């Protein structure tokens, strides 16, 4: 299980979880900026407005093929009327929504929403809070991208180093000393391709034939594994 991520926005810790391979931001943490003790009520008030319902419905229709459009229309007709209150649980249950989710647990529990929706909620809370939230979220994503790039470069370097260690070992231990230089090149090439097939499932020539648009060789695109 991936560890929850956090960012700091105007002195508040905002939890971010990964769901469906995307980032979901805690509405509960954002709501604390408006009312520390009644976060659920703050979220319900926002959900109950007609503008929010229309926005949420459009988002779900774009991203969710199983969205219950009939129930959405019923909610939309009631939204904004006096006394109407819509909770996140009702929205999820009635419409089969995926943009908002609820998590239980002492740490990291609460209501979470896809970043598109969370930014809209933050705007309703405070324009400045929304801006700082976006900035901190972008900073987090840049750090993640930089770290992945560093890991990829490290994996590429290790793959190349290991490959040369293996081929040098072949050259030193498997090629008889008494054969000619030309004969040695054939043995070396065959053993190198044996390594390629063992490690990558394909010879160097087969890889080049299948990847004519790429520069370098199979090792340049290898992962650490």
- Which of 91, 125, 159 is the last residue before a domain boundary? 125
Tokens in use for 160? Answer: 């190349």
Which residues lie across from 8 on neighbouring strands?
A: 13
Q: Are residues 113 and 179 in the same domain?
A: no
Q: How far is CA 23 from CA 7, 34, 196, in A?
A: 13, 23, 38
pLDDT score at 186: 52
Q: What is the pLDDT of residue 1?
A: 44
Query: Are 34 and 98 found together in one domain?
Result: yes
For 141-169, how does the pLDDT look when each residue is reduced to its tens digit (9 = 90+)?
A: 888 887 777 666 666 666 666 666 666 66
- Average pLDDT in the chain: 82
Residue 139 included in any domain: no
Do 69 and 61 contact (CB within 8 A), yes or no?
yes
pTM: 0.64
Quickly list DSSP for 138-196: HHHHHHHHHHHHHHHHHHHHHHHHHHHHHHHHHHHHTS-TTS-HHHHHHHHHHHHHHHH
pLDDT at 161: 66
Query: Are residues 12 and 103 both part of a single domain?
Result: yes
**Residue 130 maps to a domain:** no
Question: Between these two residues, 189 and 52, which has the higher pLDDT value?
Answer: 52
- Under a CB-based contact definition with an 8 Å cutoff, are residues 224 and 155 in contact? yes
pLDDT tens digits for range 171-200: 666 555 555 565 455 555 666 666 776 667
Owning domain of residue 102? 5-125
Query: Is 38 within a domain?
Result: yes
The answer on 188 and 156 residing in a single domain is yes
Residue 157 falls inside a structural domain? yes
Q: What percent of the chain has pLDDT over 70?
A: 73
Does one domain contain both 99 and 11? yes
């Amino acid at each position: 299980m991936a560890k929850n991520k956090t960012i700091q926005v105007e002195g508040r810790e905002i939890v971010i979880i990964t769901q469906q391979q995307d980032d979901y931001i805690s509405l509960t943490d954002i709501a604390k900026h408006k009312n520390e003790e009644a976060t659920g009520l703050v979220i319900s008030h926002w959900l109950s407005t007609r503008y929010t319902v229309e926005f949420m419905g459009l988002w779900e229709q774009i991203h969710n093929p199983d969205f219950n459009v009939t129930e959405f229309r019923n909610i939309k007709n009631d939204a904004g009327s006096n006394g109407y209150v819509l909770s996140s649980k009702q929205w999820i249950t009635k419409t089969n929504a995926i943009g908002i989710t609820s998590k239980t647990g002492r740490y990291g529990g609460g209501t979470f929403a896809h970043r598109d929706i969370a930014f809209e909620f933050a705007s309703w809370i405070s324009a400045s809070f929304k801006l700082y939230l976006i900035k901190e979220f972008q900073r987090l994503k840049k750090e993640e991208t930089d770290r992945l790039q560093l890991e990829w470069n490290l994996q590429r370097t290790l793959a190349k180093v290991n490959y040369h260690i293996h081929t040098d070992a072949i050259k030193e231990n498997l090629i008889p000393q008494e054969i000619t230089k030309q004969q040695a090149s054939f043995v070396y090439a065959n053993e190198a391709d044996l390594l390629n097939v063992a490690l990558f499932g394909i010879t160097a020539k087969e890889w080049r034939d299948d990847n004519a648009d790429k520069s370098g060789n199979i090792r340049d695109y290898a992962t650490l594994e």
